[in-house]
Structure 1
Amino acid sequence: MRFLNRSAASLSRHRRGRLAGLVLLLVGLIISGGLYATFSPASSATQSKTDAELVEEGRQLFLTGCSFCHGQNAEGITTVNGQFVGPSLVGVGAAAVDFQMGTGRMPLTIPGQQAPSKPGAYTDEEIEAIGAYVASLAPGPAVPDEEYLTIENLSDEEQQEAISRGGQIFLTNCTACHNFSGKGGAMPRGGYAPNILNTDPKHIYEAMLTGPQSMDTFSNGNLSPEEKRDVIAYVGSMRDMPGYGGFSMGALGPVSEGMFAWLVGLGSLVGFAIWIAAHTTRTKKKKGQEA
């Protein structure tokens, strides 16, 4: 008991010492600094280093798989006739990279009027890295945020209004190429508008934002992010829309309908006319023989 009392008295004297306050202050600073470093977000310096590493990774992937057509610095390559082997990617932004590589259109397998969609050759992480490298060359459209790709966060009434607005925008700006059902159709000089009913919402947004190949560009100044979201919602609603017109002929628009009219409609009329002419000839011959 005496020992405990003696220890308590000694500790009390040390607490009243001149260095006690300083020691306690240092201990508090160390503990608080450690907790902040553990639970706080990464600092800007660390984030910048991570972005730099991502850009460098994308650069290496670009040099390996893309520079043959687009140049060592993405400046583009032209032939002796001035035609592009691969256009410049300076200023196209990460959104264009994500669309072209995410849909498998790039790398291009065979040169042609239009790059077809196919299974992708790069992983999502590699596409992100190449997009970061291209975005570092010059300002350009970024990959869209998730909030502009869905209307699930809206109420049922707001969702219906969004689909209605998107339908009006789609009918005004998109049906000339993708037709009223969104299943695409033929275009001049060997091009075509693809079927967009099963296209990922992110890629629909990026296509509107960047205008790939024959498609027009709808920047955020032409169509706001909310309006692009509404178009995506309308396209999604068409997937389950029943065909009220009966036989749709693939819903490929005027090409299939025109072919049906020529082959079946006019073909039937021509065949009927030939049958009438042949029947008339046989009737005349029969009357001549009787006479």
Structure 2
Amino acid sequence: MKALSQKRRHPLAAVALLLMGLLFTGGLYAVATTVNQAKADTQSFSASDVKEGEKLFLANCATCHGMGGSGTNSGPSLVGVGAAAVDFQVGTGRMPMQMQGPQAQVKPKQFTDDQTHQLAGYVASLGAGPSIPAAEYLDEKGDAAKGGELFRVNCAMCHNAAAAGGALTRGKFAPALAGVSGQHIYEAMVTGPQNMPVFNDANITPQNKRDIITFLKTIEANGSPGGADLGSLGPVSEGLFLWIAGLGVIIAFTIWLTSRTS
């Protein structure tokens, strides 16, 4: 007993306990993350989808992303990004990229919906990742008020409170969200494209994502009931407009006074 008591008082005992605690915590986090990803990867694809998707990938994507999606110096690995990332990037025309730049630009999509589905199926087969969202979360029948609150807390600092988009650093930007489908909005939240952070189910639940989509579609449908929105950029554009318009009125009034005097 005396020897055991002495070992407990060993100077390295606290360090050993700390390391054990860190390993235990890290293990729990890894398990939780794996479970979350596996749960998200529920979209089913047929063997034919995967096979055709592989052919499309080799012909159009492997140059940058490598054989088997392992990545190259020109493009990141796609192992574990999931079907949602492919559906978003390819479905919005961002991929394949037209040219190198700070971020991928939206352009007319180069693949049909069926081809996009096949590509998503192939990439999903490379590793577990976020799946294409279920239709129940895209019905735009959530709580718009709650969605607005969540959007202002989590998204408005980049996308603007009116979802009109905004500039970021080094030529990057947060795009406007008007005209973007609910499916692509959901996929962007779970995959974090470009500079956007990932909002997995632990950050924002699927129901909350549904609420955010409902809010965005509600403000898009309502338009600007107060008149010209001036780009929905807030006090910057409004102040600039008042300054220019006010200055113009003053100049015009000054000209009118001088002409009356003469």
TM, length-normalised to structure 2: 0.72
Cα deviation, residue 53, structure 1: 2.3
Alignment of 1:172 with 2:161, yes or no, is no
Equivalent position of 2:128 in the other structure: 139
Alignment of 1:110 with 2:105, yes or no, is no
Alignment of 1:240 with 2:221, yes or no, is yes
Equivalent position of 1:27 in the other structure: none
Cα deviation, residue 242, structure 1: 4.8
Root-mean-square deviation over aligned CA pairs: 2.4
Answer yes or no: is the 8 Å Cα contact 1:63–1:72 preserved in 2.
yes
Equivalent position of 2:72 in the other structure: 77
Structure 2 stretches of 5 or more lacking a match? Answer: 1-44, 255-262
Equivalent position of 1:209 in the other structure: 190
Instruction: Work out the CA distance in 1 between the residues paired with 2:184 and 2:235.
Output: 26
Q: Which amino acid aligns with 1:207?
A: A
Q: What count of residue pairs does the alignment treat as equivalent?
A: 208
Equivalent position of 1:33 in the other structure: none
Please list, as runs of the form range in 1=range in 2, the aligned pairs for 1:189-268 lying within 5 A after superposition.
Answer: 189-243=170-224, 246-253=227-234, 256=237, 264=244, 268=247
Instruction: Work out the CA distance in 1 between the residues paired with 2:48 and 2:203.
Output: 35
State, as a whole percentage, how many aligned pairs show the same letter: 46
Per the alignment, in what secondary structure is the counterpart of residue 188 of structure 1?
A: coil
Instruction: Work out the CA distance in 2 between the residues paired with 1:181 and 1:137.
Output: 38
Instruction: Work out the CA distance in 2 between the residues paired with 1:151 and 1:182.
Output: 16
Whichever of the two has the greater Rg, that structure is 1
Cα deviation, residue 240, structure 1: 2.8
Distance 1:254 1:66, change over 3 A: farther
Structure 1 stretches of 5 or more lacking a match? Answer: 1-49, 79-84, 153-158, 276-291
Per the alignment, in what secondary structure is the counterpart of residue 208 of structure 1?
A: helix
**1:52 equivalent among 47, 61, 81:** 47
Instruction: Work out the CA distance in 2 between the residues paired with 1:237 and 1:169.
Output: 14
Cα deviation, residue 247, structure 1: 4.0
**1:124 equivalent among 113, 135, 143:** 113
Equivalent position of 1:41 in the other structure: none
Alignment of 1:61 with 2:50, yes or no, is no
Instruction: Work out the CA distance in 2 between the residues paired with 1:151 and 1:242.
Output: 17
**1:188 equivalent among 159, 166, 169:** 169
Instruction: Work out the CA distance in 1 between the residues paired with 2:165 and 2:238.
Output: 13
Answer yes or no: is the 8 Å Cα contact 1:185–1:253 preserved in 2.
no
Instruction: Work out the CA distance in 2 between the residues paired with 1:255 and 1:111.
Output: 31
Answer yes or no: is the 8 Å Cα contact 1:75–1:90 preserved in 2.
yes
Instruction: Work out the CA distance in 1 between the residues paired with 2:121 and 2:75.
Output: 19
Distance 1:190 1:255, change over 3 A: farther
Higher relative contact order (CA 8 A, sep 6+): 2
